[in-house]
Structure 1
Amino acid sequence: MTLEIDTPQPSRQGSRWEVLRVFSKLGVTSFGGPIAHLGYFRDELVQRRKWLDDDEYGDLVALSQFLPGPASSQVGFGLGLFRAGPLGAIAAFIAFTLPSAALMVAFAYGAPLFQGTVGSGILTGLKIVAVAIVAQAVWGMARSLTPDPTRATIAVVAAASTLLLTGSVGQIGAIVIGAIAGLFLCRGSTAPVSAMVRFPVARVAGIISLLLFAVLLLGLPVLAATTKWEPLALFDTFYRAGAFVFGGGHVVLPLLQGGLVDTGWVTSDQFLAGYGAAQAVPGPLFTFAAYLGTLSTVGPGGITGAVIALGAVFLPGFLLLTGVLPFWNDFRSRPWAQALMRGANAAVVGILAAALYDPVFTTAITGAGPFVLALICFVLLIAWRMPAWAVVLVGAGGGIMLSLAS
């Protein structure tokens, strides 16, 4: 058998050290969430360094939006792969992820120090900010992913499924049902297809990646239940969360909530405080997993728990990206595939809307004062377009004021 390997043109090749250097800069300066990250990548790598052109970059972004997983991290992984092969992909991931992961682990260790009026006020403010951040995500995603009655209905059904069925069963079931509904009900006009950028991934490597993704997804729950080994249970929970995240980093919130809060591995207060803090750091939102792995009462906890959680939550997205790259050009042109994804993306809006209600709103909004602060933060995000990290500071200050007034 001859391996089919798509290699970039020699003029497009670079070293893994170049990739590490460039993404280290992006890892400490890329504030604002996944959409903002894509803008940073385009400015630095398409316009300034000309690693690839706009059409090629747009195609990689489209693929990452199509697949489950952290879209901006998948794009970064793909850019490193395109520039310097597999080692370049690993370098891009480490450099872009490590700064925010380290900050989230530090926050997990420092959270117990937030005692007294000021400390508890800051944590209260972070939980309230999470309400505004998730509401903004629901608002933006609903406008783009549920623009017609059919997809809006799919979103409502998904929200109901998530709220009425406990744990991750309702969330995963909502995505599956949404995809099936989309297959039959969302066959609209086919989107135009551009030329495909070439990546150094063999078809055999793609098949192996897809098989490994499926084996882990199906085998980890069985193995974890059989062995009762806590680190494996922790890995399984984060792997399944990463495998079913469609539509951006915010969607990981309900999946992780079902796997960690509902099971008692972390408290709801810990969960929401960490989620609020994650908005104030650069890099991917998925590094929230490092915070949760550090605090989890199941598994080793500490830095080891953070490493397990981080590796597990990012792995499925990277396996899928590597697996689909050799076949994407043909698959994405099929109308049924586009319809399936329309339905799945609509379901994602419903899942996130359910998470906005429980646990985000029900935990953080305990009276008129917190509700007013959440409204202020929401308006600053939506109308004044303030960056998320700045709104986090406003929320923390407002939380201190509420704590002093109580």
Structure 2
Amino acid sequence: MASYPSTYTPPTPVRRIRYFIFLKDVLILACTTFGGPQVHLAMMLDRFVMKRRYLTEAELLELNALCQILPGPTSTQTITALGFKIGGPNLAYLTLIVWAFPSVLIMTLTAIGIYYVQQRSISLDFTRFIQPMAVGFLIVAGYRIARKVILNQMGIVLAVISALTSYAFPSPYITPVVLIAGGFATAFFYKKHEKMEKAPIQIKWANFFLWIGVLITAATVGAITKSLPLRLFENFYRNGSLVFGGGQVLTPMLYNEFVEFKHYLSRQEFLSGLAIVQVTPGPVFSFASYIGVLSMRDYGLSGQLLGGLMATAGIFLPGTFLIFFVYRFWNQLKRYRGVRASLEGINAASTGLTASAAILLFQPMSGSGASVLIVVATILLLEYSKIPPYLLIIAGLFLGFLV
């Protein structure tokens, strides 16, 4: 796996206590942070910057911007890189496990529960009010982050252009184009940034070769053996290596592959899981665990758990390898003013992508007065009340059972 930097020294007892406190903070966020990467970032700012001061707000925002231009789960890469910054590779891997475990467990149990329900011919309609609530969460998250990262008229223009572009061309491949274009747009204003002493960029390629090596090996072994667990790992590893922009971009890719092409899940199963993962704490990429379980429904409980495990490993590992690769020379790279200036455009463009995702998710339900009312009510309750998000979720599920 990842090797230690040459400057690494074993942690002292004080450092171990600090690492434990950090992992406790990660677990708290993993259990309480609903709504996707934008909400995750807002909560990270509150806990990691304002409360604990592990890093500055500018450092966290630039780290998040870096992760947005890499394939993989943005918030997971951000929090893993923070673990790397604080305690090296071992703490980073522990951070990944602690961060992902609650949502992976919930989505695994959800898939097993849905299979159990279907075996007894029970309807899944009780989940139908959750999706409009998820749209409300997304809108509020985007608004809160926009207030922090859009600092001038250029930021507003970039956010609007990226929203219109991604709405007009709803392809996962447009996401990196929009983010890179946003970065280029503000990179030209690099002169307003302070000059920093430059140093030669030293690149350690081990994690890059690890990433590409696992991809090739998984594809080869899966094709030869025809093993469904191995093919699931390869499928999700490939998707995790190609997706830019978070769970909202991952969703159509998974739908096309596992519903339309391979028929591992029905449309109703997919949408039910999607609705639940939108309001599950932690990373949205845990949706892979749900799909992995149902893809191996015919192999008994042990097979379902194996499917969930392989899908989970496949979706999270690529982004982890890549952030370990890039983060090692990021401090050298960001000394260039053009690189730092580009982060403003990337953050603004990301806000536009969030707005576009919210519109696309809202459109199918815009003809339903009840769904519109739920979206509006969710937004108002999140902004003007202190009701915890999980209580709103429970209320939505309860309403679904009643109606």
Same fold (TM over 0.5): yes
Deviation at 1:117, TM superposition (A): 12
**Partners in 2 of 1:369 and 1:65 — Cα distance?**
36
**Partners in 1 of 2:62 and 2:163 — Cα distance?**
22
CA change 1:251–1:375 in 2 (3 A) is same
Q: Secondary structure at the match of 2:169?
A: helix
Question: What corresponds to 2:292 in structure 1?
Answer: 293
Question: What corresponds to 1:212 in structure 2?
Answer: 210
Counterparts of residues 203-282 of structure 1 (less than 5 Å): 206-214=204-212, 230-244=228-242, 246=244, 249-263=247-261, 264-282=263-281
Residue of 75, 84, 89 corresponding to 1:86: 89
**Partners in 2 of 1:299 and 1:186 — Cα distance?**
52
**Partners in 2 of 1:93 and 1:22 — Cα distance?**
13
Deviation at 1:123, TM superposition (A): 1.4
Question: What corresponds to 1:77 in structure 2?
Answer: 80
* Aligned residue identity for 1:234: L
CA contact (8 A) 2:34 2:389 kept: yes
Deviation at 1:299, TM superposition (A): 11
CA change 1:338–1:26 in 2 (3 A) is same
CA change 1:260–1:14 in 2 (3 A) is same
Question: What corresponds to 1:381 in structure 2?
Answer: 382
Q: TM-score under structure 1 normalisation?
A: 0.73
**Partners in 1 of 2:158 and 2:19 — Cα distance?**
48
CA contact (8 A) 2:211 2:322 kept: yes
Deviation at 1:242, TM superposition (A): 3.1
CA change 1:130–1:282 in 2 (3 A) is closer
CA change 1:292–1:195 in 2 (3 A) is farther
Question: What corresponds to 1:59 in structure 2?
Answer: 59
Question: What corresponds to 1:321 in structure 2?
Answer: 323
**Partners in 2 of 1:310 and 1:194 — Cα distance?**
42
Question: What corresponds to 1:166 in structure 2?
Answer: none
- Per-residue CA deviations over 1:19-70 (Å, capped at 9, x if unaligned) read 796368536643335566567667777777x6x7433x85355324321333
- Per-residue CA deviations over 1:307-363 (Å, capped at 9, x if unaligned) read 12211221122112211222111222335445665666566556555554556642x
Question: What corresponds to 1:199 in structure 2?
Answer: none
CA change 1:41–1:179 in 2 (3 A) is closer
1:109 aligns with 2:112: yes
* Aligned residue identity for 1:289: A
Question: What corresponds to 2:130 in structure 1?
Answer: 126
CA change 1:372–1:19 in 2 (3 A) is closer
* Aligned residue identity for 1:374: V
Deviation at 1:233, TM superposition (A): 4.2
* Aligned residue identity for 1:175: T
CA contact (8 A) 1:105 1:303 kept: yes
Deviation at 1:103, TM superposition (A): 1.7
Question: What corresponds to 2:332 in structure 1?
Answer: 330
CA contact (8 A) 1:126 1:392 kept: yes
Deviation at 1:306, TM superposition (A): 1.2
CA contact (8 A) 1:183 1:339 kept: yes
**Partners in 1 of 2:159 and 2:23 — Cα distance?**
42
Question: What corresponds to 2:166 in structure 1?
Answer: 158
**Partners in 2 of 1:339 and 1:28 — Cα distance?**
31
**Partners in 2 of 1:341 and 1:222 — Cα distance?**
37
CA contact (8 A) 1:38 1:72 kept: yes
CA contact (8 A) 1:126 1:272 kept: no
Residue of 95, 98, 110 corresponding to 2:98: 95
CA change 1:377–1:180 in 2 (3 A) is closer
Aligned-pair Cα RMSD in Å: 4.5
- Stretch deviating more after TM superposition (85-94 or 4-13): 4-13
Instruction: Give unmatched runs, 5+ long, in structure 2.
Output: none
Question: What corresponds to 2:34 in structure 1?
Answer: 32
CA contact (8 A) 2:30 2:100 kept: no
* Aligned residue identity for 2:133: V
1:396 aligns with 2:397: yes
Residue of 299, 302, 305 corresponding to 1:303: 305
Question: What corresponds to 1:167 in structure 2?
Answer: none
- Per-residue CA deviations over 1:195-233 (Å, capped at 9, x if unaligned) read 99xxxxx966x4211233355568867886787654444
**Partners in 1 of 2:38 and 2:305 — Cα distance?**
29
Instruction: Give unmatched runs, 5+ long, in structure 1.
Output: 163-169, 197-201
CA contact (8 A) 1:331 1:337 kept: yes
* Aligned residue identity for 1:275: L
CA contact (8 A) 1:373 1:398 kept: no
Q: Secondary structure at the match of 1:171?
A: coil
* Aligned residue identity for 2:8: T
Q: Secondary structure at the match of 1:283?
A: coil
CA contact (8 A) 1:20 1:91 kept: no
- Per-residue CA deviations over 1:68-95 (Å, capped at 9, x if unaligned) read 3334433443344345433322222222
Deviation at 1:184, TM superposition (A): 4.8
